[in-house]
Amino acid sequence: MLEKFVERAMYAARWLGAPIYLGLSFALLALAIKFYQELLHVLPHIFEIAEADLVLVVLSLVDMSLVGGLIVMVMLSGYENFVSQLDIDENSEKLSWLGKMDSTSLKNKVAASIVAISSIHLLRLFMNAANTPNDKLMWYVIIHLTFVASAFAMGMLDKVTRH
């Protein structure tokens, strides 16, 4: 009797994650506001801004879009994997990957997204390398390579465990 109660309570506790996933939608909203703030900041100066500076702004926008996609992916598939299935009507638009991404593939996609985001940060630093101390550049490269190695190791572990 007590065991059944504990098991049901633990299973019901998964719903404690729902507000966290809902909170990610507010993080996505905040990111969207910053995206458009940056875009509106640069547009009036589009004819005055140097090409390298424009590329840095565009890389920043791409970076924000990758983070936004990461938030959507974690929010939706995390909810679906750990809380409850999404009840989406057959007639409404549905993302092709919904219901197909387990926690392992989600981890791999998150790792790949982190590597992509880190790559953009590194590219922005390299484009402005004259204003960045060499020791900081070295640490950024080391951190990026750590992300790459971690993503690669996770992919290899996934491949080994699936076969």
52 CA to centre of own chain? 26
Domain housing 154: 2-81+94-162
Q: Quick check: 42 and 100 in contact, CB under 8 A? A: no
Domain presence at residue 18? yes
Domain presence at residue 89? no
Domain presence at residue 153? yes
Report the pLDDT value the prediction gives residue 80, as an integer from 0 to 100: 87
Report the pLDDT value the prediction gives residue 136, as an integer from 0 to 100: 87
Q: How many domains, the chain?
A: 1
Domain presence at residue 7? yes
What lies within 8 Å, CB to CB, of 74 at 6+ separation is: 24, 106, 110
Domain presence at residue 86? no
Rounded to the nearest integer, the mean pLDDT of the chain is 88
Give tens-digit pLDDT for 74-91: 898 888 888 888 777 777
| Whole-number Cα distances in Å, 50 to 44, 104, 123, 127 | 13, 43, 17, 13
> Which of 89, 78, 99, 100 lies closest to 19, judged by CA?
78
Report the pLDDT value the prediction gives residue 143, as an integer from 0 to 100: 93
Domain presence at residue 31? yes
Rg of the chain taking only CA atoms, in angstroms? 20
Q: How far apart are CA 156 and CA 138, in angstroms?
A: 27
Domain presence at residue 73? yes
Domain presence at residue 77? yes
Report the pLDDT value the prediction gives residue 19, as an integer from 0 to 100: 94
Predicted model pTM: 0.78
Which stretches of the chain score pLDDT less than 70?
none
